[in-house]
A and B are shown apart, each in its own frame.
Chain A
Amino acid sequence: MSILDIFVANIHFIGAMIIFVIGLYMVIAHPNLFKRIIGINVMSSAVFYFFVAIGAIADGRVPIVDGTLTPADYINPVPSALILTGIVISVSFTVYALSLAIKIHQSYGTLDQEKIVEMSTRDDSYD
């Protein structure tokens, strides 16, 4: 099997990895907090894609059993079901992170992390 064949056979997994790294780069390298939240969302999409791709088979059917097909014809429904939970978690994360971002923008007037760090003077009294 040539490298190209391996690439085509695993296109979903390789694609998911590439998207994951793009998201990771956004989270790590971008100073804007809003873009970092989007970066996390890109990463989670990549992981969900990867997870769902595990259950997929070529020409697979939706797993609604009607007695005419053998089990091998259906896709694995477990990853899809798991990822539904994952999407819900991702949404709640995004909502919470964005609400924090709004609060930060209200109190600092910017979402640029470097500027915020500059602005927050070292105050060593904590509760």
Chain B
Amino acid sequence: MTSLAIIQLVLFLLVALFSPFLTPPKRNQWLLLLVLIVNTGISAVLLLHIESSGPITLLLGGHQRGLGIELLIDAFSVLFTLFLGALGSVVQIYALGFMKTHIPKTQHTAYSGLMAILFFAIFGLLYTNDLFNTYVLIEILSIATVALISIVRKKRNFMAALRYLLISELASLSVLFGIALIYMVTGTLNMTLIYEAMPRAFANYPINVTLALGFMGMGLAIKTAIFPFHEWLPDAYTSAPSSSSAILSALVSKAYMVVLIKILFRVFGSAIIEQLGAQWVMITLAAVAMIVGSLFALGQTSFKRMLAYSSVAQVGYLLLALSLLSRAGLEAMLFYMISHALIKGTLFLVAGSFSTQHIKDSLKALSGVAYVAPFTALVLGVGAFGMVGIPGTSGFIAKFHLAMALGDASRWGFVALIMLSSILNAIYFFPVIINSIVKQTGTVPLKRDHLPISMVLSMSVLLIAIVTLGFSPSLVLPYIEAAVTAIGF
């Protein structure tokens, strides 16, 4: 029972290892899907196990605590492996149909292999309780992500991939520098032991701890595309094939967010962050990101670029919730992460469905699309409603919880800011929906979508998930509460 988490990691590695030998490549895709579903199931079993008998600590190699790598399987990490694994399976179902037309045949094997490595890194990042291991997994994740962008052999993709690779390596090195500074004053890499040693280290060597927080914060700010460090994001998200864009925006950025939470609350602890005043930095960046990201999105002519800039704004929301450093704030943040991953993932899949049906990726080309591809347009509508925060979608509940958390901390100014940013969201999303319904030229009989069944299935599942969470958020809220308790609030 206790070593199930290791089986998850090993399964992903095995898929990556055997993917070059399995022919035809189609089998790889099914194998990856199978492993994803099995691992999601394992996470569900682990979640139930933890609920009844507490968190599991695994010491790899049987070394003494503090010497070897330690995995911490608790309500927080398992909630996210369960969610990201499930979402990954749904996107993989979509990829079964999407790949045929959009990814060159020769690259199909590489796609599933890279995807397996990517999931290995995400699961590892969530479970690990060791700082250096975190760095290694961040590097694995960033190289796998970049490779997923350069998998389409186009000029633009190479350039986007190299720029992303350079900037994310810069970020990883920044994180490693932070780890070195922490190791220097605490003498350990185990997060729990560092957390225990932190108050003394901070009292004796405040410069080291401050610099470490700065370096790690900057590194993760680049990775999660927090506002002034978001330059790489639009190119990376738009040039990747849509199923990869969905993985990038829904899974990878959330995994880095989880790392940020772990570093802030399990390594430094909220007391030190408050003492250094880091929450004010976060609040400022969040407020700017929420407005500026939306303004950038307003100016785009490409649908995928618009989604990418809207992600910049959404990271601002997450950071705003994080900056409260409170239980309510963290609960709101975790729900927002789940909701945003669902909605943004769905919208990128919609972009992929348009391109499968030879509809150009420009906002102009989307006018009247509801008559050509009614199902995709329906999913687009629900996704856009979710982004704006219309009641009945998970986006509304997420924004509501965030506003409540801000209200508890009596930061009413930021509640107003959320409203303003939501209005901006509406300004750029509603014209897309209206355009898609209102056909300008003549009347064309209603057509049906020309999509592979797997793509329809996957988008339907996400659609149902968004609406279900919108009507009964209580399905996940208890697990989120348990996760926040596990973080230490």
Contact = CB atoms under 8 A, between A and B. Distances in A.
A36 B166 contact: yes
B302 A43 contact: no
A107 B180 contact: no
A97 B352 CA distance: 28
Contacts of B177: 20, 47, 50
Report the interface size class on chain A. Answer: 35 or more
Nearest to B362: A124
Most buried by A among B158, B161, B238, B352: B158
A100 B161 contact: yes
B449 interface: no
A85 interface: yes
A97 B314 CA distance: 30
Counting chain B residues whose Cβ lies within 8 A of the other chain, the interface size class is 35 or more
Interface stretch (A1-9, A63-71, A86-94): A86-94
Contacts of A101: 162
B344 interface: no
Given A120-B156, A127-B352, A50 B136 contact: no
A126 B238 contact: yes
A124 B241 CA distance: 14
B210 interface: no
B169 A93 contact: yes
A80 B150 CA distance: 33
B107 interface: no
Interface in A93-116: 93, 96-97, 100-101, 103-104, 107-108, 116
Contact of B162 (A43, A92, A100): A100
Contact of A96 (B132, B135, B146, B241): B146
Contact of A123 (B139, B150, B156, B158): B156
B165 A100 contact: yes
A36 B163 CA distance: 10
A40 interface: yes
B242 interface: yes
Given A43-B173, A79-B183, A127-B102, A96 B155 contact: no
Nearest to A13: B184
A6 to B, nearest CB: 12
Contacts of A79: 180, 183
Given A50-B180, A54-B184, A127 B152 contact: yes
Contacts of B166: 27, 33, 36-37, 40, 97
Contacts of B147: 96
Contacts of A24: 170
A51 interface: yes
B448 interface: no
B159 A104 contact: yes
Nearest to B176: A47
Contact of B143 (A50, A92, A107): A92
A62 interface: no
Interface of B: 102, 132, 135-136, 139, 143, 146-147, 150, 152-153, 155-156, 158-159, 161-162, 165-166, 169-170, 173, 176-177, 180, 183-184, 189, 238-239, 241-242, 301-302, 304-305, 351-352, 355, 360-362
Given A92-B143, A97-B166, A100-B165, 18 more contacts: A40-B170, A43-B173, A51-B180, A51-B183, A54-B184, A82-B189, A85-B132, A96-B147, A97-B162, A97-B165, A103-B153, A120-B155, A125-B361, A126-B242, A127-B152, A127-B241, A127-B242, A127-B352
